[in-house]
Structure 1
Amino acid sequence: MAKEAKLRRSARLADLALRLLEEPGRTFSLGQLARTYGAAKSSLSEDLSILREVFLRAGIGTIETSPGAAGGARYVPGISRERAENFVHRLVEEVTRPERILPGGFVYLSDLLGRPDILRDVGRIVAAAFASVDVDVVLTVETKGIPIAYAASFALGKPVVIARRDGQITEGSLVTINYLSASSRSIRTMSLSRRAIAEGARVLLVDDFLRGGGTIRGMQELVREFRAEGVGAFVFVEGPAGSGRVVEDVASLVKVEEIDADARTIRAVPGSIFSRAWPSSPWGGLFQIRESEGRSPKHDLTGG
């Protein structure tokens, strides 16, 4: 009998973990969970404590609970310091491969943006970095920023909206702006459906590569057209900062400091996101990577 009860609890723990992991950010009522599993709230509270310890030990986030009659639990994705360090240093090594150099001072990233293992941890890092920011929607511009936006979206449990270079008839009525590309000094256009962002929404801006910052600035201007608020900006890779950069305070995962096309070399370091601290996050301060600490041992990008 004791063995059967243990198996029932094991199944309940597995199902509860799956439920929380599949819907990050969603608060599940403790009362509803008790009815679903036919278990006492006290037993579920113990289950949640076990899962919280497992998640923290695995370095994939935590479980937050709220007390009282209307209490509940939600999964908050995150990433441990060790996993983050291993991941970013390995990513820096990937980015600095000489065959990634493209004409015009760009770096080839498409293969990295197509890997689900990389996107999974990128999403967790974004969720940790912006844990103290109340985000309603994630905004990017087609096309290469889309994988990053969806990674952030899933981890934050928030929807994605995608601005288009050319308006589509299927988008309905559009808000269109012209903006200056800071790197090429040319005028470009981005459009977004009027239904995409609600007035007053808090928007996280996401892109794949930051050079002059014109695209991020364009997204900021687009958000203002909706009478919404840009509450943060994140890019996968930040290029060398030039005198023409038009935005500040953009969190980057990797910072490329120099590209020498003749010597076929790229010099890169961990990005600005790792010098930030988030005291209200369960991961507050975990990402402060200092050169004096030395390089972390090589690990697979999954952090395993």
Structure 2
Amino acid sequence: MEKLKQRILEESSVLSSDVLRMDAIINHQVDPALTMEMGQEFAKRFAEQSITKVITVESSGIPAAFAAAYVLGVPLVFARRKKTLIADPDVYMERVPSFTKGIVTDIMVSKQFLSSDDRLLFIDDIIANGDAARGLIKIIERSGATLVGMGIVVEKSFQAGARTLREQGVRVESLVKIASLDNGEIKFE
């Protein structure tokens, strides 16, 4: 998506050779029109997969996942990172480290929202090391649902996350691939 690349160049900032701040586009402020275009692109790429639900991890993946679910006409399920007083106690749970937050959290999905009949499209905002993705994939496997693929808004291809998932047989479709953030410069593949 050339429009997304242009917005990244104009509105993002490189914090280090590993970290790109995209708060103005997808992580803090959300552009609804651009996000809907992302959803349309993901829906197009996975149109033949008979998807029953879109799934993501709270919270930055929710807008793009919502857009894809809306275009596909299916529900969106998201893995929560925090337990609430009204949360369903019957959940699939996995402990995952967060690259950008520098902490380990639990992600959980209520068992009532996943079944062996589901064909899931996993959408996420950024993939770096892929720890959260691997955690959610374990939850999907335990539920008996089928993961048809993963749509990533921004893949940092210089980190191992997406490559590792592809090597494990997961179909990963990225809208933008960043090859390097060295010397404060964003280089796309």
- TM-score > 0.5 by shorter chain: yes
Match of 2:113 among 188, 193, 196: 196
SS at match of 1:128: helix
Return the offset for 1:171: 2.5
Aligned match of 1:126:
42
Match of 2:153 among 215, 220, 236: 236
Aligned match of 1:259:
181
Return the offset for 1:229: 1.1
Aligned match of 1:137:
53
CA RMSD of aligned residues (A): 2.4
SS at match of 1:166: coil
Gaps of 5+ in 2: none
1:160 and 2:76 aligned: yes
Q: How many residues align?
A: 180
Which deviates more, 186-195 or 247-256? 186-195
SS at match of 2:49: coil
Gaps of 5+ in 1: 1-87, 270-304
Distance across 1 between alignment mates of 2:5 and 2:44: 20
1:246 and 2:164 aligned: yes
Q: What are the within-5 Å matches in structure 2 for residues 1-304 of structure 1? A: 88-97=1-10, 99-103=12-16, 105-113=18-26, 114-172=30-88, 173-179=90-96, 187-243=104-160, 246-248=164-166, 249-260=171-182, 263-269=183-189
SS at match of 1:132: helix
Return the offset for 1:94: 2.0
Query: Is the CA contact (8 Å cut-off) linking 2:128 and 2:160 kept in structure 1?
Result: no
User: Alpha-carbon deviations, 1:179-201, whole Å to 9, x = none?
Assistant: 46689997542111121212321
Cα 1:98–1:151 shift into 2, 3 Å: closer
Higher relative contact order (CA 8 A, sep 6+): 2
Aligned letter for 1:217?
R
SS at match of 2:132: helix
Return the offset for 1:100: 1.6
Cα 1:216–1:110 shift into 2, 3 Å: same
Q: Percent identity?
A: 26
Distance across 2 between alignment mates of 1:247 and 1:165: 22
